[in-house]
């Protein structure tokens, strides 16, 4: 029996959700629609139902939004990134700020005393300092290839995963998230690999030689390239590395991993440096940050400084404060504020990140920053607070899942005068703010756009002790 095709006509899109999908309703049910913008009138094919939500795609536009723009990238719609590239940037900012405010009000049940206008990114393309590309022998066949009935000879790809299809990779020739030199290097490496019979990885069978290609850059002009190979074949490794070194002298450090595991994670794998120091260095307000292939660092180099300066501005440091920097990562915020305070203690669960933080403190001759490693629930306890002293300010920058309730309980026990909560997920941030609202007033929120062309939005919240 054929599955019934559900088509709904003349639906008006009223909003965008957190994933950048258009929002409408059918028979009191919410429908999320791909590539549909508010104020558009569309006919929709519903292809999936998940819980009480319907998912659809546009089969006909009856009326389009004046805010719709032509996407710059030809891979838009198939690639899993840059989902808002068809929306004018000013409107991207509007809907991101709107979502932050709505989450704070709806989930957090809070009204900020002051909402600062969203901070636009200085650059909306070529802003990322890190991108990871995947080699695959299961190239995604494009709609144009299917429609044109083209003969498919090459199934190898070097690019990004298709949204919702981890086993398929789109072959990317031009990505506008990094500078064009990255495209040139990547495309030449792909062509050389194909010409020399170097096998691309099969994600399902877990076979093949070439696995991943990782680029990292700095505003100082340094460029890191890291290969991930699935086989420790010395001859093949030397072949691709020799080509890369000879062809691209602008690469300041070249290294590689041999990853024979089932997953792509590299954090538990050692790497070998072929050229350079094995790291690159970023400079922010005179502070040097050593960035290795595994280091966490905010990916929008052009906006990082604005984010950190705003944190410092909201804190209004006087110079005598003890600050806790929870979920410190590589200690970038802690080191950025260290010269304006008496002492900062950073805590994170990732040993490699804390190692980077300590090395960066030494690199900058910062002696008033201390870094500790361990699960936040186990390290940040009442005993910890008794040992190190009650902080004047706590800065929090947790992962998307937000904070564990025990961490929140201990923050309330520490009772700092100010809490600065930085979040990449305003939904979980709002939940956590509600749990602290009995003792803290939500003074200011500051949305910050770190990821143009995507639905993601960073938000800073300043809490003042009541």
Considering only 88-97, 294-303, 391-400, 431-440, which range has the smallest mean pLDDT? Answer: 294-303
* Ramachandran area for residue 346 (φ above 0: left; ψ -120 to 50: alpha; else beta): beta
84 domain-assigned: no
**DSSP conformational letter for 194:** H
- At residue 42, φ and ψ (nearest 5 deg) are -140, 155
- pLDDT tens digits along 325-357: 999 999 999 999 999 999 999 999 988 889 999
Binned at pLDDT 50, 70 and 90, residue 3 comes out as low
Separation between Cα atoms, residue 190 and residue 173, nearest integer Å = 10
Domain count for the chain: 3
Give the residue from 58, 10, 8 showing the smallest Cα distance to 29: 8
83 domain-assigned: no
CATH of the domain at 156: 2.40.50.1070
Tokens of 166: 């981890």
309 domain-assigned: yes
Tokens of 51: 């819980």
444 with 305, same domain: the answer is yes
Binned at pLDDT 50, 70 and 90, residue 289 comes out as very high
pLDDT of residue 300: 96
Domain-terminating residue out of 227, 251, 284: 284
Binned at pLDDT 50, 70 and 90, residue 151 comes out as low
415 with 341, same domain: the answer is yes
134 with 120, same domain: the answer is no
Task: Kindly report the length of the chain.
Answer: 466
335 with 306, same domain: the answer is yes
Separation between Cα atoms, residue 29 and residue 11, nearest integer Å = 12
Give the residue from 174, 192, 190 showing the smallest Cα distance to 182: 174
E strand or H helix at 110: none
Which residues are CB-neighbours of 98 under 8 A, at least 6 positions away? none
Residue 45 belongs to what domain range?
6-67
295 domain-assigned: no
Residues that are catalytic: 424
Among 49-58, 72-81, 284-293, 364-373, the range with the most confident prediction by mean pLDDT is 364-373
Binned at pLDDT 50, 70 and 90, residue 418 comes out as very high
pLDDT of residue 168: 85
């Amino acid at each position: 029996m054929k599955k019934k095709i559900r088509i709904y006509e003349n639906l008006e899109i009223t909003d965008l959700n957190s994933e950048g999908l258009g929002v409408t309703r059918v028979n009191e049910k919410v429908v999320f629609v791909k590539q549909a913008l508010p104020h558009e009138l569309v006919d929709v094919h519903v292809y999936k139902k998940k819980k009480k939500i319907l998912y659809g795609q546009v089969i006909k536009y009856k009326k389009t939004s004046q805010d719709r723009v032509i996407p710059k990238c030809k891979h838009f719609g198939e690639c899993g990134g840059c989902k808002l590239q068809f929306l004018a940037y000013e409107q991207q900012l509007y809907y991101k700020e709107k979502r932050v405010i709505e989450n704070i009000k709806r989930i957090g049940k809070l009204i900020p005393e002051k909402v600062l206008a969203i901070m636009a990114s200085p650059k909306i393309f070529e802003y990322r300092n890190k991108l990871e590309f995947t080699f695959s022998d299961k190239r995604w066949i494009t709609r144009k290839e299917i429609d044109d009935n083209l003969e498919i000879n090459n199934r190898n790809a070097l690019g990004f995963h298709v949204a919702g299809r981890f086993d398929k990779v789109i072959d990317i020739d031009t990505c506008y998230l990094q500078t064009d030199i990255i495209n040139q290097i990547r495309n030449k490496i792909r062509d050389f690999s194909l010409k020399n019979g170097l096998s691309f990885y099969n994600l399902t069978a877990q076979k093949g030689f070439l696995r991943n290609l990782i680029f990292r850059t700095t505003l100082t002009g340094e460029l890191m390239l890291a290969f991930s190979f699935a086989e420790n074949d010395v001859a093949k490794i030397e072949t691709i590395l020799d080509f890369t070194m000879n062809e691209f002298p602008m690469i300041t450090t070249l290294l590689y991993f041999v990853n024979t595991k089932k997953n792509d994670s590299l954090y538990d794998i050692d790497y070998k440096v072929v050229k350079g120091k094995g790291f690159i260095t970023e400079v922010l307000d005179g502070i040097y940050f050593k960035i290795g292939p595994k280091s966490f660092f905010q990916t929008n180099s052009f906006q990082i400084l604005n984010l950190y300066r705003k944190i410092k501005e909201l804190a209004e440091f006087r110079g005598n404060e003890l600050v806790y920097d929870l979920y410190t990562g590589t200690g970038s915020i802690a080191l950025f504020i260290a010269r304006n305070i008496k002492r900062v203690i950073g805590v994170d669960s990732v040993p490699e990140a804390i190692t980077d933080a300590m090395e960066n403190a030494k690199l900058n001759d910062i002696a008033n920053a201390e870094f500790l490693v361990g699960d936040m629930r186990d390290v940040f306890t009442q005993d910890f607070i008794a040992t190190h002293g009650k902080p004047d300010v706590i800065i929090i920058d947790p992962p998307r899942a937000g904070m564990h309730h025990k961490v929140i309980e201990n923050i309330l026990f520490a009772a700092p005068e100010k809490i600065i909560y930085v979040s990449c997920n305003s939904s979980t941030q709002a939940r956590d703010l509600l749990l602290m609202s009995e003792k803290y007033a939500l003074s200011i929120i500051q949305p910050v756009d770190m990821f143009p062309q995507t639905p993601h939005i960073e938000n800073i919240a300043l809490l003042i002790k009541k």
